[in-house]
A and B are shown apart, each in its own frame.
Chain A
Amino acid sequence: MKPRRSQIGLAIVCLLFGMALMMQLRTQNRLRQATSGDSSTDLASIAGDLYDSNTTLRQEVDQLLGQQVAYDRSPGSDKQVQVQQEVQDLETFNGVVPVTGPGVELTIDAALRPVDVQDLLNEIRNAGAEAISIGGQRVVYNTAVAGGPGRVTVNGVTVSMPVVFEAIGAPDVLDRALDRKGGMLSYLRTSYPHAQVILAEHNSLLLPAFTSSLPLKAAD
């Protein structure tokens, strides 16, 4: 993730203010030392040096503040819109909002094992799906598949039979990827000879949002 230019500007300004603060603390320290014994000529030269470096730093701060203003006014940095767009993209990616789009629906009427569902999910992700639900449960980054044969849980919720996968993405790509010879579906048809497997392309699917709160360790 690239930091925005204004963030860089702000970071530099913060850094400089920090430096200025340090300078001031040092000044106070040196003055304290100076007043406790040094001659007045030493004091004068110390103060002179500090005055010079202070001026240089002030100039740098002014210059950087000017740059930041320029960045903020530059065309295409409509930050509010950019941030809003990124939030929406991430919410979609994260599965925390309901979404629509074209894709495929895969219905499997068989007593699938958790590992079958887990491998199918992996296959659908690998085929480039942008949003996935299993039995109405929206798949998120930490979705776990558990349970037992014929009573699979997704996000801790038992999936009813038949198991329905919905995936938003390029329908033809998803369709072909899932239905290839030697792929997951042909494996399932072999493993569950009586299973009814239906794979259908759709122009518009509606996937629900993930509902409970995600366990999340605050990032640094």
Chain B
Amino acid sequence: MLAEQRALAGTVAVDGTGVEILLDDSTVQQLLPSDDPDNYIVHEFQIRDIVNLLWGAGASAISVNGERFVNSTSVYCVGSTILINDTRTSPPYHILAIGDTAGLQRALDDGNSLRDLKTRSQVYGLVLKVVQAGPLTIPAFDGSVEMKHTDIAATTGQPG
């Protein structure tokens, strides 16, 4: 019971097979004055898009640069760094997902997925690739799961 809830919460590390995705700023060194540097760097919404896609494709655990994605995780841009679980991160981004490797790979390859990101990868040299498929260890969430405002509802009188 406790072990199951801890596993769901992500407060324990988990081993499994899956994919490791590398997301990094463009390898292009010299930008033209007309170039918008924004197109050449990793943005927080791209991490959100990849993670959302992986959950949809059946991933059971995800971490980005060592930060486990749990039910409270947000990905936010703060200046030149990206805040994940209250930890500042910067590129390169190693996105680890445990799940059906072939299914995750298929979802990533799907022509309809991550279109904006794939375009930026092709046009501006943003790095987006699966660098590994196989056994992975995804670390535990080390933040708080404490509830200050939320109580379990009495189950009596529940509709449905």
Q: A90-B6, A144-B52, A168-B149 are in contact. Are A220 and B15 (CB under 8 A)?
A: yes
Q: Are A88 and B152 in contact (CB under 8 A)?
A: yes
Number of interface residues of A (CB under 8 A): 49
Task: For A171, give the chain B residue with the smallest CB separation.
Answer: B149
**Residues of chain A lying within 8 A (CB to CB) of residue B58:** 215
Task: Give the shortest distance, in Å, between A37 (CB) and chain B (any CB).
Answer: 47
Number of interface residues of B (CB under 8 A): 49
A window 203-218: CB within 8 A of B: 206-207, 214-218
Q: Are B150 and A125 in contact (CB under 8 A)?
A: no
Flag B135-160 by CB within 8 Å of A: 1 or 0 each: 00000100001111111110100100
Decide yes or no whether B39 CB sits under 8 A from chain A: no
Once bound together, how far apart are the Cα atoms of A220 and B149, in whole Å? 31
**Residues of chain A lying within 8 A (CB to CB) of residue B155:** 98
Cβ-defined partner of A142 (8 Å) among B11, B15, B59: B59
Cβ-defined partner of A122 (8 Å) among B9, B48, B61, B145: B48
Of the listed stretches A44-52, A99-107, A191-199, chain B binds A99-107
Q: A139-B71, A168-B150, A170-B149 are in contact. Are A87 and B1 (CB under 8 A)?
A: yes
Of the listed stretches B19-27, B72-80, B87-95, B126-134, chain A binds B72-80
Q: Are B145 and A89 in contact (CB under 8 A)?
A: yes
**Residues of chain B lying within 8 A (CB to CB) of residue A81:** none
**Residues of chain A lying within 8 A (CB to CB) of residue B146:** 89
**Residues of chain A lying within 8 A (CB to CB) of residue B9:** 90, 93-94, 141
**Residues of chain B lying within 8 A (CB to CB) of residue A96:** 5, 8
Decide yes or no whether B70 CB sits under 8 A from chain A: yes
Cβ-defined partner of B71 (8 Å) among A94, A115, A123: A94
Central interface residue in B12, B140, B148, B151, by most chain A CB within 10 Å: B151
Cβ-defined partner of A141 (8 Å) among B49, B53, B69: B69
Once bound together, how far apart are the Cα atoms of A211 and B75, in whole Å? 26
Decide yes or no whether A55 CB sits under 8 A from chain B: no
**Residues of chain A lying within 8 A (CB to CB) of residue B71:** 93-95, 139-141
Task: Give the shortest distance, in Å, between A205 (CB) and chain B (any CB).
Answer: 9
**Residues of chain B lying within 8 A (CB to CB) of residue A141:** 8-10, 69-71, 73
Q: Are A93 and B147 in contact (CB under 8 A)?
A: yes
Q: Are B52 and A219 in contact (CB under 8 A)?
A: no
Task: Give the shortest distance, in Å, between A167 (CB) and chain B (any CB).
Answer: 10
Decide yes or no whether B123 CB sits under 8 A from chain A: no
Once bound together, how far apart are the Cα atoms of A207 and B153, in whole Å? 8
Once bound together, how far apart are the Cα atoms of A172 and B155, in whole Å? 28
Decide yes or no whether A131 CB sits under 8 A from chain B: yes
Q: Are B5 and A91 in contact (CB under 8 A)?
A: yes
**Residues of chain A lying within 8 A (CB to CB) of residue B140:** 1
Decide yes or no whether B7 CB sits under 8 A from chain A: yes
* 27 pairs from A and B in contact (CB 8 Å cutoff): A1-B11, A1-B12, A86-B2, A89-B146, A91-B152, A92-B150, A93-B9, A93-B70, A94-B9, A98-B152, A98-B155, A98-B158, A101-B151, A118-B52, A119-B45, A123-B74, A125-B73, A130-B150, A141-B9, A144-B56, A168-B149, A206-B153, A207-B153, A215-B99, A217-B61, A220-B12, A220-B15
| A interface with B by C-beta (< 8 Å) | 1, 83, 86-103, 115, 118-119, 122-123, 125-126, 130-131, 139-146, 168-170, 206-207, 214-220
| B interface with A by C-beta (< 8 Å) | 1-16, 45, 48-49, 52-53, 55-56, 58-61, 69-76, 98-99, 140, 145-153, 155, 158
